[in-house]
Chain A
């Protein structure tokens, strides 16, 4: 509420807003272009993070601090991290193939893309170029967060619930699809493994090194057991015991 008056309210553009816009506008645009042009998938994702972060700041600037913060937390914080996660597992050297499968595909795509961008830009400029934003002050009258909460949980509660149901269905679906059913007991837990190691006289501890309690510490001298007998297990089979080496 306090800082809100600093932000764009009712349509007039403040100095601070203008400065921030002219700094972050090119950054957002550069991020978008960089995302398309970057060869490395991780760099591409990072450029996208940059753009999304700038968009979050723009939302705050436009008098929507809540949506701005949520944009940063959800998009840059959670979704892009998951993206990076996957990309990292894929490996750093995997980049797109640059071989053209259709002849002239790249030129055609460039021309069509520029044409589409021009069309959309023209439509937006004609549509909202001269529009005055009205009703922002009224919408934010009781504070930005309460206003959003009231709308979301009264007027649009059904749409909200339906969306959340959709998201949960998608999450459960993803888990069902990715889940691999293992036959029961196929994979032993750490606890079972550890029990198995101790069972039936299994040897739980590290084996005694050669020379333990013996008179010599050579790798070829076996460790002595409590009753004085040599512990053959303490000698590496490569070395062989003294007895074997001397042919006794």
Chain B
């Protein structure tokens, strides 16, 4: 890989860039379409066939809008923050393998911009740099809501990065490598989503938290913070934030595919029936399908779940996700040591252990819930709600209301009585 000609490297860089931008455009339209479907409306359907060019039109429109620099803004930081948010988002994709070795104009090369021994750490490093974009944007805007959004997002992204990193540790342990292509190779037989199911669940949850998506979109909670960190941003700078958010979604989905869903390998045993499925350019198709499946879940979550309260969200991250992933890593290491000592079938053991851990966790959570209910039932009711609607209770309409006839039908409309008129003239007088 290191002796590739320069033109090939540049071609790959361009390829990754174009892939990401196209994915962003497609994802935005897909999101609006899918969320629209879920809410029983058609979604965008004006620009292009079936509204497919809507995001492109929106992007162009955004670029030509007026660029506003708030008076209180810290000019340099305000200017550079969207750039800082955007660049790491693009950079992180460099180590994602899109496919196996292919031949491009006679050169055998892997469909991956670069790979080195700590690729996954590199992705984590990029995402930790991306936080700066958001934090600085919020601070440099020089206004309250963006600052609050920035502080929230800093706390959120740092906390969820920890659980994300811990969930990935299990993959490192199983694959024996931190390199993305080695991890894909290690999933030749069983995908890690099967053998490391708890890690996958933790990764999926923290990925949503890491990308600031609903139901964890507290940094930009519209009902509380206007637009969050980008409240003051407009025009191309805002477009960059938008771009960064969607590229982060794509990257997180691609990393999920690479780490847990077998990377570019054909799903459901297609590879055993059709050996050509895992060679040449076809795996790019599998990879893209898997990434879109992940993206669909992102959108689905957004269409389904309400936003969490901030303290519950942080509590969930620190008190549930982090301890759970630590416990799972200990269990995993124990199983690995045992299976090395007694030569057990590791895949089967891991799957069983995963199921058992799930069962134990489920029992614990349900048990806690039952205990809570029992305690609530045993405790004397603090005070029953008032049974009747006393004065000051919520008004309910009179039960003998009749729908007045339509004025268009020229039938008699209940004329206001004389006392009412008197009342009115009284007030006007």
Instruction: State the A residues within 8 Å of B (CB).
Output: 1-6, 40, 42-43, 46, 49, 53, 56, 65-66, 69-70, 72-73, 76-78, 81-82, 84-85, 88-89, 92, 143-145, 195, 198-201, 203, 205, 208, 212-213, 215-216, 218, 220, 223-226, 228-229, 231, 233, 242, 245-246
| Cα distance A208–B389 in the bound complex, in angstroms | 14
Interface residues on B, range: 35 or more
Most buried by A among B158, B177, B391: B391
B127-158 CB contact bits vs A (8 Å, 1 = yes)? Answer: 01101100110010010000100110011001
Residues of A contacting B397 with CB < 8 Å? 213, 226
**Is the CB–CB distance between B117 and A73 below 8 Å?**
no
**Is the CB–CB distance between B139 and A92 below 8 Å?**
yes
Residues of B contacting A200 with CB < 8 Å? 383
Binds A, one of B61-69, B118-126, B402-410: B118-126
| A-B pairs with beta carbons under 8 Å apart, 18 shown | A3-B2, A49-B132, A66-B117, A73-B128, A81-B154, A85-B135, A85-B151, A85-B154, A88-B147, A92-B139, A92-B142, A201-B386, A203-B393, A212-B395, A213-B397, A225-B395, A229-B391, A242-B426
Q: Is B396 an interface residue (CB 8 A)?
A: yes
| Cα distance A2–B113 in the bound complex, in angstroms | 12
Known: A76-B129, A78-B128, A201-B390. A42 touches B2 (CB 8 A): no
Most buried by B among A53, A72, A223: A72
**Is the CB–CB distance between A2 and B395 below 8 Å?**
no
**Is the CB–CB distance between B121 and A199 below 8 Å?**
no
Residues of A contacting B174 with CB < 8 Å? none
**Is the CB–CB distance between A246 and B426 below 8 Å?**
yes
| Cα distance A144–B394 in the bound complex, in angstroms | 70
Residues of A contacting B151 with CB < 8 Å? 85, 88-89
B364-406 CB contact bits vs A (8 Å, 1 = yes)? Answer: 0000000000000000001101100111111111100000000
For residue B113, give the distance in angstroms from its CB to the closest CB of chain A: 11
| Cα distance A117–B96 in the bound complex, in angstroms | 43
Residues of A contacting B129 with CB < 8 Å? 53, 72, 76-77
**Is the CB–CB distance between A145 and B158 below 8 Å?**
no
**Is the CB–CB distance between B424 and A143 below 8 Å?**
no
| Cα distance A76–B128 in the bound complex, in angstroms | 8
Known: A4-B116, A213-B397. A72 touches B128 (CB 8 A): yes
Residues of A contacting B2 with CB < 8 Å? 2-3, 5-6
Q: Which single residue of chain A is at the shortest CB-CB distance from B419?
A: A215
**Is the CB–CB distance between B116 and A228 below 8 Å?**
no
For residue A190, give the distance in angstroms from its CB to the closest CB of chain B: 8
| Cα distance A180–B416 in the bound complex, in angstroms | 65
Q: Is B420 an interface residue (CB 8 A)?
A: yes
For residue A88, give the distance in angstroms from its CB to the closest CB of chain B: 5
For residue B237, give the distance in angstroms from its CB to the closest CB of chain A: 18
For residue B1, give the distance in angstroms from its CB to the closest CB of chain A: 5
B154-178 CB contact bits vs A (8 Å, 1 = yes)? Answer: 1100100100000000000000011
Q: Which single residue of chain B is at the shortest CB-CB distance from A42?
A: B139
**Is the CB–CB distance between B121 and A73 below 8 Å?**
yes
Q: Which 3 A-B pairs have the closest CB atoms?
A: A77-B128, A69-B121, A3-B116
| Cα distance A145–B158 in the bound complex, in angstroms | 24
**Is the CB–CB distance between B392 and A1 below 8 Å?**
no
Q: Is B341 an interface residue (CB 8 A)?
A: no
Q: Is B71 an interface residue (CB 8 A)?
A: no
Known: A229-B391, A231-B391. A65 touches B383 (CB 8 A): no
Q: Which single residue of chain A is at the shortest CB-CB distance from B389?
A: A226
**Is the CB–CB distance between B395 and A66 below 8 Å?**
no
**Is the CB–CB distance between A81 and B131 below 8 Å?**
yes
Known: A2-B115, A66-B121. A84 touches B135 (CB 8 A): yes
For residue B142, give the distance in angstroms from its CB to the closest CB of chain A: 7
**Is the CB–CB distance between B1 and A69 below 8 Å?**
no
**Is the CB–CB distance between B395 and A224 below 8 Å?**
yes
Residues of B contacting A205 with CB < 8 Å? 394
Known: A199-B383, A201-B386, A215-B416. A231 touches B1 (CB 8 A): no
Q: Is B114 an interface residue (CB 8 A)?
A: yes
Known: A92-B139, A199-B383, A220-B427. A231 touches B395 (CB 8 A): yes
Residue from B158, B382, B416, B423 in contact with A199 in the complex, judged by beta carbons closer than 8 Å: B382
Most buried by A among B124, B128, B139, B155: B128
Q: Which single residue of chain A is at the shortest CB-CB distance from B172?
A: A145
| Cα distance A216–B398 in the bound complex, in angstroms | 16
Most buried by A among B1, B132, B424: B132
Q: Is B74 an interface residue (CB 8 A)?
A: yes
Q: Is B186 an interface residue (CB 8 A)?
A: no
Q: Is B77 an interface residue (CB 8 A)?
A: yes
Residues of A contacting B382 with CB < 8 Å? 195, 199
**Is the CB–CB distance between A208 and B395 below 8 Å?**
yes
**Is the CB–CB distance between A1 and B427 below 8 Å?**
no
Residues of A contacting B115 with CB < 8 Å? 2-3
Residues of B contacting A73 with CB < 8 Å? 121, 124-125, 128
Most buried by A among B118, B383, B423: B118
Residues of B contacting A199 with CB < 8 Å? 382-383
Known: A69-B124, A229-B391. 16 other contacts (CB 8 A): A1-B116, A6-B2, A66-B118, A66-B121, A73-B124, A77-B131, A77-B161, A88-B150, A144-B118, A145-B117, A198-B385, A199-B382, A201-B386, A225-B389, A225-B393, A245-B427
For residue B115, give the distance in angstroms from its CB to the closest CB of chain A: 6
Most buried by A among B117, B121, B155, B177: B117
Q: Which single residue of chain B is at the shortest CB-CB distance from A49?
A: B132
